[in-house]
Amino acid sequence: MGGTTSSEKKKGKGPTQMRIAALAKPEGRVSLVDFTLQTVANGVSETEELHPGESFMAALESHFGIELGEPYDSIKPLQQRGSAC
């Protein structure tokens, strides 16, 4: 069931205000929520906090096969709650 977790509410973020990627794999899964990369393989979970920029872009490409074709700085920032477009 989707929805906003209490930790997301505390941050003032809902699902439409977050960068999310997730991929199931035979041995587990990999997920990227904003700048938190979590991998689970054979029951072992690892979490890494990425920095905005090159490490975020490299994680998108290496874990999810996503190449945006633009530098990180050219990507439009997520709109903050209550902000105008």
pTM (2 d.p.): 0.71
Range from 10-14, 59-63, 71-75 carrying the lowest mean pLDDT: 10-14
The DSSP secondary-structure symbol of 29 reads E
Identify the band that residue 16 occupies on the pLDDT scale cut at 50, 70 and 90. low
Region of 35 (left: φ > 0; alpha: ψ -120 to 50; beta: rest) is: alpha
Q: Show me where the domains of the chain are located.
A: 14-66
Q: Which two tokens stand for residue 73?
A: 């700085």
Reduced to 3 states, what is the DSSP secondary structure of residue 37? strand
With 50 as the cut, is the pLDDT of residue 2 above it?
no
- pLDDT tens digits for range 24-70: 999 999 999 999 999 999 999 999 999 999 999 999 999 999 999 99
Cα torsion angle, 1, 32, 50, 56, sign:
negative
CA–CA dist 30, 46 (Å, integer): 10
